[in-house]
Amino acid sequence: MIGALRIGCAPLDRRLAGVVLAFLLSGCTNVGAKAIRNTRFNYNSAIVDTRNEQLLTNLVRLRYRDTPYFMEVSSIATQYVLGLGGSGSVGGIGDNTVGGVGGSVSYEERPTITYTPLSGEKFARALMTPIPPAAM
């Protein structure tokens, strides 16, 4: 019989499913402008840490009369991607109706970091500038 199709889902079950879905989506608070607040400090800290490591590496290179080589982070571009997906199915034999619902939520951060070699006048100026003791 193709007449009315019944799915065994009471109004309480629908409300519970809505609450669960809202709860799952509320975890994606790092989308949009809020993502800048949460990631800017992390990128800044990573740049400072790697710059300090690079300086230390180049000081060791100079100690052993190797050529120092400096790379600067010239830009960082980050894409934040939020994906939502869902599916559902209904089937049955006779009076027995079976249904299923599925969904997925994904969040991705895709940074693109551009480096430029430090050379020429800028390199010479940076190399010849004394390092203050406080920086050590």
Q: For residue range 29-38, list pLDDT tens digits in order.
A: 556 677 777 7
Could you tell me the residue range of the domain that residue 127 belongs to? 11-135
Bridge partners of residue 92, in order along the sequence: 97
**Any domain includes 100:** yes
Strands 71-93, 96-117: pairing is antiparallel
The whole-number pLDDT of residue 16 equals: 56
- Per run of 10 residues, the mean pLDDT along the chain (length 136 residues) is 46 57 56 75 93 93 90 90 78 73 81 89 76 77
**Any domain includes 96:** yes
Report in angstroms the alpha-carbon separations of 63 from 53, 59, 85, 133: 15, 6, 57, 18
**Any domain includes 4:** no
pTM: 0.56
**Any domain includes 5:** no
Can you read off the two tokens belonging to residue 89? 């199915």
**Any domain includes 80:** yes
**Any domain includes 3:** no
Instruction: Specify the number of domains making up the chain.
Output: 1
**Any domain includes 89:** yes
**Any domain includes 123:** yes
CB 68 within 8 A of CB 62: yes
